[in-house]
A and B are shown apart, each in its own frame.
Chain A
Amino acid sequence: MTAFAIETNGLSKTFRSFWSGREVRAVDGISLQVEKGTTYGLLGPNGAGKTTTVKMLLSAVHPTAGSAHIFGQNAAIPEARRDIGYLPENHRFPTYLTGYAMLDFYGALSGMDSPSRRRRIPELLALVGLDDWGDIRLGKYSKGMLQRVGLAQALMHEPKLLILDEPSDGVDPVGRRQIREILQSLEQRGVTIFVNSHLLAEVEAFCRDVAILHRGKIVLQGKVRDLTAGRGYRLTVPAGLPEKLREEIVLRASSFSPRETFLDIQFLERAAANSAIDLLRANHIEIESLLPTTSTLEDVFIRSVNAQ
C-alpha cells in the first residue's frame, strides 16, 4: 500500500516536430512524491512544463521516459484514473449540454450508475451555487460559472485525488473564496488536492507542499512553511550614508538594496536591526521605516527561477 497519491520517477517528455525533426524537451526527468491527503501546488512560469506534467499524470500525453503512478497504479492504465477528479485549464465543455446533462455525462464516464448520478447532481449544483442553472445550456454560462460547474464535474464521483489546472481562472473574488472553501472542506475529508496555478498568493494560502518547475525541471520543492521561513526586518533609510557608517551597517545586515532616494537594509535578527538603528541614530540618520518581513512564496519563486 503506497503512501503517495502521485509518484513520478524521472518523468520526461520530448516533443518532436514531424517535419523538421526538431526536439523540445518539455519535461526533463521530474520526480514528485505527493503524499495522500496533502494539498500540493505545482508552480512555474509559462512554458515550464506544468500542463504537460499534469497531462502525463492523466495519460493524455505519453512520457518519453520515466514513470508516473497514481495511488500505486501505473498512470497509463485507465483504472488508475478511477479516483481522479480533473478540472482542465481552458476547458471546452460541450455547450449543447445543460449543466445537469454535463454532470450526468461525465459522471457516467466515471463509472457512476444512474441512481447515484441523480442523487449527486443536485447536491453538487447547490454546492457550487448553480442550483438554479441546472437546466440551462452551458453556452449561456459565464466563465466563472463554467469554472464552478467544471469543479462540480471533477467532484461527481467523489474522487480521492483532485487535479486542478488554474481552478480560480476567470472566477470573481466571491466565487474564488467559495472554491477555496470547497477545497478546504475536501482537504479536511482527506482528499489529496494537486493544484497547478499561477496565483502564488492563493497557492501559498492553500497548499501545504509545493514544487517549482522551470524549463521542465524541478528547481525547488518542499513544504510551503519551510520555504517561506525567511523572516527578518527591513529598515529603510535615506540613500547616501557616509562610507564608514555604511561599512558598519553592512556587517550587521543580510542585504542592501537601493530604491529611488532610499536604501532598504534587510536584517535576519532583531538584535542586528536594533544595533544598526542605534548606530544610525548616533550618526543623526533619519529612520524612514522599520518593517518585520516574511519571505513570500513569490519571493521564493522568483529567486528559484532567476537562479537558473
Chain B
Amino acid sequence: MPNRTLTVTQAIVVDTFREAFARKIFWGLFALSTLMIAFFLFIMKIDIMQGATATISLFGNRADANVDADMMVRKVQAGVAAFLYTWGMFLAVFASAGLIPSVLEPGRIELLLSKPVSRAHLLLGRYLGNVLVVGGNIAYLVCGIWLILGIKTGIWTPAFLIAIVTTMFLFAVLLSVVVLIGVLLESTALAVMVPTGLMLISPVLAQVEMMDRLLSSEWSRALWRTLYHCLPKVYDIGRLTMDIVLGTKIQTLTPIATTAAVGAAILALSIHIFRRRDF
C-alpha cells in the first residue's frame, strides 16, 4: 500500500511538472531566475578591499563609500530575498494559478475521479507538484546567487539559504488560497487576485500597534486584530527573512506558526469542499 501511494503521488507530481513545462510556466520562471543570476554574474561587481571592507559597482559605476564586506554581501542577499518575496511571489502565484482549475475541467476530472485514488490524495498531489515546480526555481535562484556572491567575495553566509525555506513556505500558504479558490469557483483570475490582495494588504494589517492608537472604537480594533491574526502574515515573514539574512536578532517566530496554521486550515477546507463537490 505505501508503494502504491508513492506511485500515485509521484505520477501526480510528474504530471504537474509536465503541465508546467507545457504551459511554459516552469521555463518562464527558470528564464527569469537565470536572468537574475546572470545579473549578479556579469554586471554586479563587489571588490573586497583590505580584507574587511568592500565597494560595490554596478554597470561600472562604483558606490562612494567603503562598507563592511560581510554586511555588504548580506544586504545584497537581503535585497534578493525582498525581490523574491514580492515580485517573485507574485510571478509564482500568477504562473501557477491555472494549474488547479485545469484539472477540474469537465472531461478531465471525471477520469481522475474514476481511479482508485481518494480526492484528498489527488488534490494534495497536485498541490505538492505545484509547490515543487516553484520551489525548484526558488532553490535554483537563491543557490545560484549565493554561489556567485560566495565565489566573488569569498564570504559564505548560509543564512541566505533560509530564504529558500521561508519563500517556499509562504508560497505554499498562498497556494492553499489558490487551491481554495480553484475548487470553490474554478476561476484562474480570482485565484491570482485573492493571494495578490493578501500580499498587498499584509503590510497594512501588520501595523497593529499604530492602528490600536488610531482606531476609535473597540470593535474596529478587534476586527483589525482578527484580520491580522486570521490572514497569512506575508509582511511579517518577509521581515523575519530579512532579519535572518542580515543576521539581526529575531524577535518572534509566532508569524510563522500562525501563518502555517492558517495555510493548513485553508488547505483542509479546500479538501473538504473538493470531497463534497459533484463533477
Contact = CB atoms under 8 A, between A and B. Distances in A.
Interface of A: 15, 55, 58-62, 78-82, 84, 86, 88, 90-94, 96-97, 101, 104-106, 108-114, 153, 163
B6 to A, nearest CB: 10
A96 B22 contact: yes
A84 B115 CA distance: 8
Contact of B18 (A81, A97, A112): A97
A60 B113 contact: yes
Interface size range on B against A: 20 to 34
B197 interface: no
Contacts of B3: 113
B112 A109 contact: yes
A226 to B, nearest CB: 32
Contact of B116 (A15, A88, A101, A111): A111
B22 A60 contact: no
Nearest to B15: A105
Given A94-B108, A101-B18, 14 more contacts: A58-B114, A81-B115, A84-B114, A86-B110, A86-B114, A92-B106, A94-B18, A105-B14, A108-B7, A108-B10, A109-B115, A110-B116, A112-B7, A153-B111
Contacts of A58: 110, 113-114
A101 to B, nearest CB: 7
Given A60-B279, A62-B278, A88 B111 contact: yes
Contact of B19 (A94, A106, A114): A94
15 contacts: A55-B110, A58-B110, A59-B113, A62-B276, A78-B118, A81-B114, A81-B115, A90-B106, A90-B107, A91-B107, A97-B18, A105-B14, A108-B8, A108-B11, A109-B117
Interface in B37-60: none
A58 to B, nearest CB: 4
B213 interface: no
A151 B21 CA distance: 27
Contacts of A101: 18
Contacts of A86: 110-111, 114
Nearest to B12: A109
B15 A113 contact: no
A137 B116 CA distance: 26
Contact of A92 (B19, B105, B118): B105
Contact of B7 (A79, A82, A113): A113
Given A60-B109, A92-B107, A113-B7, A106 B115 contact: yes
Contact of B279 (A61, A82, A106): A61
B96 to A, nearest CB: 15
B4 interface: yes
Interface string B17-40: 011011100000000000000000
A78 B118 CA distance: 6
A111 B116 CA distance: 8
Given A79-B116, A111-B4, A94 B15 contact: yes
B116 A82 contact: yes
B12 to A, nearest CB: 8
A106 B110 CA distance: 12
